[in-house]
Amino acid sequence: MAYQKPKKLPQFSDLITVLARSKNTDEAIYQTIQEIINRLDQFIVAGGSSGTGTGPQGPTGPPGPMPALDQTFITVNPEGSLANHRQLIAGTNITLNTATPNQIAINAAGGGAGGGMEYLGDYIPGTYNDGDIVVWTDGIAYVCTKNGTTTPPEPWPGTGSGIDDAKYWVVSPHASLVNARALSSLANGYVKSTAGEPSTVPSIPPGDLPPFIAYTNVNNNFSTIQTFASGARIEGPLTLLYFRDNTAGTDLKQWLAYNSAGDFSIDPTTDAGAGTGVRFTFGRTGVFAAPAFFGN
């Protein structure tokens, strides 16, 4: 509502009449009150009457119109009728909450510079900022990398953000992730990463396997009891099986059991594995042969 000038200005001159009835006109308090009344009266005249001056010139100066008093308003929306209004605008990572009547709450919007990373759950259409984390319909969590993003997270991150997208290993090529590494484009084999770049190798390098993996071409030195299932076998053109007692004396530690030409033999050997000339053989025809015994 526009300001309207009152029809009749208040006067203080009648107070002077009341004050004049006092008999103590020479006292300082009387004179002080009288001066206050005079100044108030001049101030009202200066503010409401029409004069030739540009404003009040003091208690003894010529009266004139007072300049308009402009008030400053803080508003949520633009107000054209309020010349001196100041609109409250949310900056980066700030939201204005007007849910409570006659109140404006200023909240951090999450993410962005100073906002840090913030997990927001499933994606809901809206505005997101740098650092916001949401889960898209593909079940993948995406990180927003640009303030004020209104697109769905499927093309996140990087699209329109002015920075390269991060590197991802994906099953198939992803059109929006130019730096992704698609595993489907690799050759058959075991996938290996060197400095973040995936590649394939025909077999797993020994150095990449855990220490409890057994190898077929080296001595595995099993230190605990190993249980072989029924039907386990040692297979080869000359199947050898050594039995070794590390606590026995020199050249008394080892026996060798093997299948040769269809007969099963057991030989004592030296510690180096050399034969001693003693052999016990079980033939397939039921004949048992030994250096000191032969029979049927």
259 inside domain: yes
Q: Which of 63-67, 71-75, 125-129, 177-181 has maximum average pLDDT?
A: 125-129
- Number of other CB atoms surrounding residue 105 within 10 Å: 10
Last residue of a domain, one of 66, 82, 110: 66
> DSSP labels for the chain?
------SS----HHHHHHHHT-S-TTSHHHHHHHHHHHHHHHHHHHHHS--SSSS---TTSPP-PPPP----EEESS--TT-TTEEE----TTEEEE--STT--EEEE-SSSTTT--EEEEE--SS-B-TTEEEE-TTS-EEE--STTB-S-STTTTTTTTSSPPPP-EESS--TT-TT-EEGGGSPSSEEEEETTEEEEESS--GGGS-TT---SSS-----S---PPTT----SSSEEEEEE-TTS-TT-SEEEEEEETTEEEEEEE-TTS-B-S--EEE-TTS-EEETTEEE-
pLDDT at 245: 95
275 inside domain: yes
91 inside domain: no
Res 54 pLDDT > 50: no
47 inside domain: yes
pLDDT at 237: 83
Residues belonging to the chain: 296
pLDDT in tens, 3-14: 555 555 445 656
Q: Which of 122-136, 242-256, 274-288 has the lowest mean pLDDT?
A: 122-136
- Asked if 175 contacts 145 with a C-beta cutoff of 8 angstroms, the reply is no
Structure tokens at 184: 């489907």
Task: Note down the domain range covering 46.
Answer: 10-66
pLDDT tier at 19 (50, 70, 90 boundaries)?
low
pLDDT at 276: 92
pLDDT tier at 281 (50, 70, 90 boundaries)?
very high
Last residue of a domain, one of 51, 66, 81: 66
Res 189 pLDDT > 60: yes
As a whole number of angstroms, the distance between CA 44 and CA 191 comes to 91
Q: Which of 38-47, 128-137, 251-260, 269-278 has the lowest mean pLDDT?
A: 38-47
pLDDT at 11: 57
Can you give the C-alpha Rg of the chain in angstroms?
A: 51
As a whole number of angstroms, the distance between CA 177 and CA 128 comes to 19
Burial of 82 (0-12, 13-18, 19+ CB in 10 A): middle
pLDDT tier at 1 (50, 70, 90 boundaries)?
very low
60 inside domain: yes
- Mean pLDDT on 165-182: 73
Res 111 pLDDT > 70: no
pLDDT at 56: 47
> In the predicted model, what is the mean pLDDT of the chain?
75
- Asked if 58 contacts 29 with a C-beta cutoff of 8 angstroms, the reply is no
135 inside domain: no
33 inside domain: yes
Q: 270 or 34: which carries more pLDDT confidence?
A: 270
Res 231 pLDDT > 50: yes
Spell out a b/e string for 268-296, using b for 16 or more CB atoms within 10 Å of the CB, else e.
Answer: bbeeeeeeeeeebeeeeeeeeeeeeeeee
141 inside domain: no
Last residue of a domain, one of 41, 66, 91: 66
Q: Could you give phi then psi for residue 42, rounded to 5 degrees?
A: -65, -35
Looking at the structure of the chain, the number of domains it has is: 2
pLDDT at 167: 65
pLDDT at 8: 52
Q: 136 or 229: which carries more pLDDT confidence?
A: 229
> The whole model's pTM is what?
0.33
Res 160 pLDDT > 50: no
Cis peptide before 210 (omega within 30 of 0): no
Res 161 pLDDT > 50: no
